[in-house]
Amino acid sequence: MSKQILEQLETPALLLDETRMDRNIERMRSHLRSLGVSFRPHVKTNKSIDVARRTMETPQGPITVSTLLEAEYFAAHGVKDILYAVCIAPNKLDHVMSLQDKGVQLSLLLDSMEAARFLAERAKAAQRHFDVLIEIDSDGHRSGIAPDSGELVEIGQFLESSGITVKGVLTHAGSSYDCRSVDAIRAMAEQERAAIVHAAERLRAAGMACPVVSMGSTPTALFAEHLEGVTEVRAGVFVFFDLVMAGLNVCQMDDIAVSVLATVIGHQREKGWTILDAGWMAMSRDRGTEKQPLDQGYGVVCDLDGRPLDDFILVGANQEHGIMAHRSGMTDSTLHLPVGTQVRILPNHVCSTAAQYGHYNVLGTNHEITATWPRFSGW
């Protein structure tokens, strides 16, 4: 069967530029190699074994996941070294043990004495061993224990006394997404590194081995200048990048590897609108660039070669309709795209946009679709 070309796809469709993706992966790999740390890629962005294989050190891993469904899926494809990087809840332990029974080395995360107690009780009742990391709050962004908190050592000692070895500590500097300069990202990377290393040192001083010191976000991973004391880095969005990352100057627009193919279906000329068949169901409602210096609406509109059309964005989105217009609001633009014209839209947050689709259309040269790679969603 002959291969499809871009213009033959029914829209909206999720496109993946393989050349850009491979370039992004090599950028991350080479930087982390230069810093002498191991890499545990986060697969929550791609949710596809075809993509994840490009990022993993070996076919068995290691990887980071954000759902147990991700762990289940990747385990079914032979991945055995998996870190579940969301604090564990009691109703997930049956699933955890099921994964263990399949030979998965699944590391768990917690950040409270309450969680440590229910985990210890379950370990004793089920005669199970759990690998546990303690989450550290390095920037006040979301969950975790402050690196100087007395509770950190208390939790560690309780776990060890219950027969659960503290495998290590983990942090995620989500505030790096709010930085306004590359220098600020570098400073955040050092703040993240210093916090997690300090937490590990406190546990070691209290008699725990704490072999794993894990940090990571795409911005801090790419701009860290040294990672002394860190053993592994986690990152995920770097594989594809998106407009939020471009707005942080973490990447350029032409590094963004995922786009949504859409078709012109009408116009409201008096308003300066071109109507596309890709609304928020195709792009998601994520407006991650709204608080950045340049608001990209619901996405940047490009031609079929991925080149941005001069200052045209999705200024609005209904469920199945996207409203393309000049970001200035001018209505006398000379750009007129006839009904049936296809465009590509770069996403604000690639994780949420990709989640709307069941597969990637892998884009090669000359608009050729070289493969279809399945992806999944859900919990």
Distance CA 113, CA 156 (A): 9
What pLDDT is recorded for position 1?
Answer: 44
Mean pLDDT of the chain: 96
Check if the beta carbon of residue 341 is closer than 8 Å to that of residue 263: yes
Q: Which of 14, 93, 1 is nearest to 51 (CA)?
A: 14
Distance CA 178, CA 190 (A): 16
Check if the beta carbon of residue 188 is closer than 8 Å to that of residue 220: yes
Check if the beta carbon of residue 173 is closer than 8 Å to that of residue 217: yes
Mean pLDDT of 357-363: 98
* pLDDT (tens digit per residue) in 232-247: 999 999 999 999 999 9
Among 20-29, 51-60, 285-294, 330-339, where is mean pLDDT lowest?
330-339
Q: Where are the domains of the chain?
A: 19-240, 253-374
> C-alpha 152: how far from its chain's center?
27
Sign of CA dihedral 276, 282, 287, 292: negative
* pLDDT (tens digit per residue) in 88-111: 999 999 999 999 999 999 999 999
pTM above 0.85, yes or no: yes
What pLDDT is recorded for position 267?
Answer: 94
Please give the CATH number for the structural domain made up of 19-240.
Answer: 3.20.20.10
CB atoms within 10 A of CB 25: 18
Edge-first strand listing for the sheet containing 63-65 = 38-39, 232-233, 212-215, 166-171, 131-136, 105-110, 81-87, 63-65
Mean pLDDT of 278-307: 96
- C-alpha triplet 18, 21, 24: angle, nearest 5°: 155
Q: For residue 107, what are its two tokens?
A: 């590391």
Q: Which of 241, 202, 200, 195 is nearest to 218 (CA)?
A: 241
Q: Domain 253-374: give its CATH superfamily.
A: D-serine dehydratase-like domain (2.40.37.20)
Distance CA 234, CA 63 (A): 8
* pLDDT (tens digit per residue) in 75-86: 999 999 999 999
Distance CA 212, CA 195 (A): 14
What pLDDT is recorded for position 333?
Answer: 62
* Plot region of 366 (φ>0 → left; ψ -120 to 50 → alpha; else → beta): left
Q: Do domains 19-240 and 253-374 have the same CATH topology?
A: no
